[in-house]
Structure 1
Amino acid sequence: MTAISFNNALGNHSEALQLRAKRAEVLANNLANADTPGFKARDFNFQAALKEAVEQRQQDAGAVTTSLPLEQTHSGHIAGTGTIDESLLYRNPSQPSIDGNTVDSQIEQALYARNSLDYNASFEFLSSKFKGLKGAIRGE
């Protein structure tokens, strides 16, 4: 007999929910920089990231980050490190602007809205699963 675990009961929706939240941050960053000269729109391959997250069952969804030292050009600067998310890809623009910005606000808004709907669907699915598990525990 196999033990019941959250991973078995919830499927891949918990990882999908985390990835949708991360993607919302990336898309929101793109929208926030729509007027920044030279900004390149970024996104990630959701299907590949979900597949990796399901395989590894990690909370960070398998995103690979590399630490970068920050250069101090003045003794008064604060020392620190930054990170680069290597799973982010650059979006190929259909019509880049003259200033080098590749963000198309309408496309980004549509992708953000779709991502929001998918996030809500995963959240509702998880909510119903937890209600079912609570009912099973209570013997209902």
Structure 2
Amino acid sequence: MFETPNVMRMAQDLARYSGARTSLIAKNIANADTPGYRARDFSSFAEALSSTAGGDLRRTRAAHMQAGSADASWRVVDAGGTPSPNGNTVSLEEEMVRATRAQSDHNMALAVYRGSLDILRGALGRGR
């Protein structure tokens, strides 16, 4: 029947990635004063997308993750940074930059999704 176009699926994956990344950034900020805490981030969205794009995965049960779903490939990585005297690597300035990038990615995903919906509506003869 009808399958979700790839551009819409990619926009949906980017929106989910950005939301999850924002949550991880918030955890980093909440632990900014925790001794020994290491700032974390996700691997890049492009890396997650490329690892699922060429896979030969097959979904054999409804409970399995869908092949090609980028969120199956998100890896939490150490965000790096210079440790403070208590061993904490969270930099509030760097976290704010990451949060701004995540928000920008999320806004872009929503714009692409809205644009795709407008194209589909136009193709069906139903303007805005």
Provide the TM-score with structure 1 as the length reference.
0.70
Aligned pair count? 114
Indicate if the aligned counterparts of 1:52 and 1:61 stay in contact, CA closer than 8 A.
Answer: no
Query: Is residue 86 of structure 2 the alignment partner of residue 99 of structure 1?
Result: yes
CA change 1:120–1:54 in 2 (3 A) is farther
Which amino acid in 1 is paired with 2:3? S
> Which residue does the alignment assign to 1:62?
72
Structure 2: unaligned runs, 5 residues or longer:
55-66
Q: Secondary structure at the match of 1:43?
A: strand
Indicate if the aligned counterparts of 1:12 and 1:54 stay in contact, CA closer than 8 A.
Answer: no
* Structure richer in strand, relative to its length: 1
CA change 1:88–1:8 in 2 (3 A) is closer
Provide the TM-score with structure 2 as the length reference.
0.76
Which amino acid in 2 is paired with 1:124? A
Cα displacement (A) at 1:124: 1.0
What is the alpha-carbon distance in structure 2 between the residues aligned to residue 22 and residue 49 of structure 1?
13
> Which residue does the alignment assign to 2:12?
14
What is the alpha-carbon distance in structure 2 between the residues aligned to residue 14 and residue 123 of structure 1?
8
> Which residue does the alignment assign to 1:79?
none
Q: Give runs of ≥4 in structure 1 deviating > 4 Å.
A: none
> Which residue does the alignment assign to 1:82?
none
CA change 1:5–1:90 in 2 (3 A) is same
Moved more, 126-135 or 10-19: 10-19
Q: Secondary structure at the match of 2:124?
A: helix
Indicate if the aligned counterparts of 1:23 and 1:44 stay in contact, CA closer than 8 A.
Answer: yes
> Which residue does the alignment assign to 1:127?
114
Q: 1:90 aligns with which of 66, 78, 94?
A: 78
CA change 1:114–1:135 in 2 (3 A) is same
Give per-residue Cα distances to partners, 1:72-122, cap 9 Å, x unaligned.
xxxxxxxxxxxxxxx2111221x2111111000000111111110111011
> Which residue does the alignment assign to 1:80?
none
Q: 2:105 aligns with which of 92, 99, 118?
A: 118
